[in-house]
A and B are shown apart, each in its own frame.
Chain A
Amino acid sequence: MSTAIDQQVASFQERFNRVKEEVSKVIVGSGEIIDGVIMSLLASGHVLLEGVPGLGKTKLVSTLSDVMHLKFSRIQFTPDLMPADITGTNVVQENAMGQKFLEFQQGPIFSNIVLADEVNRATPKTQSALLEAMEERSVTVGKTTHKLDSPFFVLATQNPLEMEGTYPLPEAQLDRFFLKLRVGYPTVESLHTILNRTTKVKEPQVERVLGQGEVLEMRKTVRAVPIARPVQDYAIRITLATHPRPPYAQPLTMKYVRYGSSPRGAQALVIGGKIRALLNNRLHVSCEDIRSVAYGALRHRVLLNFEGEAERVETDTVIKEILENTPEPK
């Protein structure tokens, strides 16, 4: 029994690491981002990548799709993009008898991995087209609901600098992202590696190492990891501490936060913790696992109030204080 589970865990780690290694052949110096993206995929979640242009966000997603034997589509979000451009639409078709009928033409969302590039450039109306797909894994056009293939994984990117002509994602949509990862600027060493790899005749090639079935199997493994009540309680207390209400609220939360994380935040903490536990060859979730995913899972779920926005308070600062002041269970 134990051996089977150990093998399952070992297999999970091996697959995870293989994917990471392949992606790392192309993407340099973003280990944590790669981990986060793969974690989101395995957690049946979606990920929002935020970073200035040129940091390889799009490349990361396209590489991931290359590594996995999954259907990939890319949607470049623009202000004139319409919902139907994403979901697809019914088009008039004519059969051999000359009769006309409506046939649903699938949009790019009908893939396993969808890259929503610069998602904040589209209008809220268009952004909302993703809502149902991200949560329900289905698309309703007209009176017909179309199920999406599993796994369905949305990777959205956004540029935090260019605010003109952009439409910030609504809270409801932000909450649907499992993690929000901030892509940082690479170090000098990483830049050397990037240049070495991308300025030569032959660019690095990746192999497909993971198929659809394997991803689903890994997802199942993640869900099987047990978590003790005290650790789960720790995750809950952290989540509740993001709300500006007693008894768990911290001073910084009380001052700068308008609304805290939804229960999806707690789910993200626990599932992210489980993946971390597996990656660390553990069969249980520790408080440290919860803390390690807290920033990514909560930073887009903590909504600052006017004062927080005015003082340019980072949500990470609030989360840091919460993590520091929330005691571990005994």
Chain B
Amino acid sequence: MSDKEIIVASLNRVERRIRTNRLLRELALSAVVFIALPLLLKVWDLFDPLRGSTVSVILGTWVLLFAAYLVWRVLQKGTLNDAAASVDLQADLHDELKTAFWFVNNPRPSEWVDAQVHRAAVNAQRLNFEHLYPRRIPTTSYIAAAMILVFVSLNFVPLSLNHNWLTLQAAPAFALNEKEAAILKQTQQLLRKAEKLKQSDVAQKLEDIVQQLQEGKIDAQQAAQMLDNIQSELEEGNLDAASINEGLEEMAKDLQQSDKLDPTAQAMQNKQLNLAADELRKLAEKLGLNSPKDTKEMQKSLEQAAENPRPGLDELAKMLKEAAENLKNGQQDAAQAGLESAANQLDALEQRMEAQDLKNLASKELQSLKDSLQQRQQGGQKQGGRGQQQQAGGKAQGGQGQKPQPGQQADPNAQGQSQDGGEGEPSDQNAQNNASQSGAPMPGGNDGNGLMPSGKGGSDAPREGAPTKLDVKLKEEKVQGMPDGGEKPENLEETSKQERSRLDYRNVKSDLSPAQKDLLNQDRIPWEYRPLIKDYFQAIRPAAGPQKK
């Protein structure tokens, strides 16, 4: 190799080594800077969970920037002049290589120049580049490693709000709280049981709604509406359980008249319809062994039981009637088949009843979940009502709802009721914030009269009333004025059924300003008018009764 080649080769080697060391150093430093942002975001996420999309966008952009920076730095090469200057400095060569490289690029016809280049080449060959430019792991790389460790550890911190980004978990758009999650789980279990009985996909729909809510595709209000639809779906084709139970009891009473049908009747009275079906089947098998008297009793009991069936028991009554007729006609096989069919009807009825119970329970749970979501969505708006400050009172309603009266705002979230019947004072601070944002006066606010003026910013959207939770079952009521004089009972049980009020509250717009309304609604009576008002009310009161003092 010529002196020139030796010098250039040495400088190339040095340049590569310098570049490698620089890249290592810069990579470590940039890694520290790069990890700092995800680490900060993760710490933030621990206290205020970030949405998956937010995390993805920020970290994605960050990764792209980092990658672009790395590519830029990797592609950036040093010059051989820089390498020569660096070697001169490191090896204390006093600009020998720098001068030699310059003369290599700018040759001169001089013995002295040749001698200088030769001497530089010899010295370059003697240099130990491993010693001059050792490969060292930069200190910052340890810091970067520590930061990565902290970042990974933070992802596994067992906190309820924590989400493991390493497993691509992120906070959903809407997170159910523990109570809501428990309600949801319970509901899903019930629905799955119901599904087994009746092949419905309501549980799947519920799951989809929760998933959409968590992904931010729908908000809490929309979720509540969808839950409402599911609830309606569950309520479709509901059996009138009370009516059926009473019908069964009536049937049982009729069947008890026959000794052979007594076990079946007992089971029916005990609401053990499967057992009743089994007894009926046993009876059908041994039908031929019965005496004519027993057969006669059975036929009469069955006929009686089949009379005036309650809604939902039509099929059963029909089967019993067929069996009775067959017994009457002496067609034993047909009677046996009729009893078998009646037993099957009882089994089916049992199954339907069971599914009905489960759906009812699921419906209740759904209602709770929906209320909870609405409460979080709308916040603590207080219930309108003259003189009533239920929110301020903060007393639990103990599971008893109040149907909104005309002119009263029936906001379920402001009634101070809690879903579990506990203390009704909402603890969610956001609720109060939302209330103040929507223009509704806060509980115990300035007006102080319990009114809910429809001030500016008040929502005009229909509001769903609080669910009715009356457990009172109005049984049969005779309505006066009926053509038969009320002798024929009419079941009005639907009205007493526990369900959510379907009467939407509509905020009535008023032309009065809030100040004017306050003035009109104020209870203070001017001192000089009090005797006059008292006299007025005393004058119009009903005639004095015996209880009047």
On A, residues with C-beta under 8 Å from B are 1-2, 4-6, 224-231, 280, 282-289, 328-330
Contacts and interface: CB of A to CB of B under 8 A. Distances in A.
B95 A288 contact: yes
Nearest to B102: A228
Contacts of B271: none
B85 A284 contact: no
Contacts of A2: 114-115, 118-119
B112 A228 contact: no
B85 A283 contact: no
The 7 closest A-B pairs by CB, nearest first: A286-B95, A286-B94, A228-B99, A283-B116, A228-B102, A284-B99, A5-B115
B96 A226 contact: no
Contacts of A287: 95
Interface string B105-124: 01010111111101110000
Interface in B430-486: none
Contacts of B118: 2
Interface in B171-221: none
B81 A330 contact: yes
Contacts of A228: 95, 98-99, 102-103
B100 interface: yes
B428 interface: no
Nearest to B122: A2
Instruction: Give the interface centre of A4, A229, A283, A328 by most chain B CB atoms within 10 Å.
Output: A283
Contacts of B79: 330
B115 A283 contact: yes
Contacts of A225: 112
B6 to A, nearest CB: 15
A177 B93 CA distance: 31
Contact of A230 (B96, B98, B114, B119): B98
23 contacts: A1-B111, A4-B111, A6-B115, A224-B110, A226-B108, A228-B95, A228-B103, A229-B106, A230-B99, A231-B99, A283-B115, A283-B116, A284-B95, A284-B100, A284-B116, A285-B95, A285-B99, A286-B94, A286-B96, A286-B99, A288-B95, A328-B85, A330-B85
Interface string B63-94: 00000000000000001011001001000001
Contact of A5 (B94, B111, B120): B111
Contact of A224 (B99, B100, B112): B112
A289 B120 CA distance: 17
Contacts of A285: 95, 99
A330 B95 contact: no
A230 B80 CA distance: 14
Contacts of B111: 1, 4-5
B96 A5 contact: no
B102 A282 contact: no
Contacts of B81: 330
Nearest to A330: B85
Tell me whether chain B's interface is mostly helix, strand or loop, or mixed.
Answer: helix
Interface of B: 79, 81-82, 85, 88, 94-96, 98-100, 102-103, 106, 108, 110-116, 118-120
A231 B100 CA distance: 12
A289 B98 CA distance: 14
A288 B103 CA distance: 19
Instruction: Give the interface centre of B95, B99, B110, B115 by most chain A CB atoms within 10 Å.
Output: B95
Given A230-B99, A283-B116, A286-B96, 18 more contacts: A2-B115, A4-B111, A224-B110, A226-B108, A227-B99, A228-B99, A228-B103, A230-B102, A283-B115, A283-B119, A284-B100, A286-B94, A289-B94, A328-B85, A330-B81, A330-B82, A330-B85, A330-B98
A227 B112 CA distance: 10
A231 B120 CA distance: 16
Nearest to B100: A284
Given A2-B118, A330-B85, A226 B94 contact: no
Contacts of A226: 99, 103, 108, 110, 112-113, 116
A280 B94 CA distance: 10
Contacts of A6: 115
A329 B99 CA distance: 11
A330 B115 CA distance: 22
Nearest to B111: A1
Nearest to B101: A228
Contacts of B103: 226, 228
Contacts of B108: 226
A160 B100 CA distance: 44
A329 B110 CA distance: 23
A288 B99 CA distance: 13
A229 B95 contact: no
A280 to B, nearest CB: 7
Nearest to A9: B115
Nearest to B118: A2
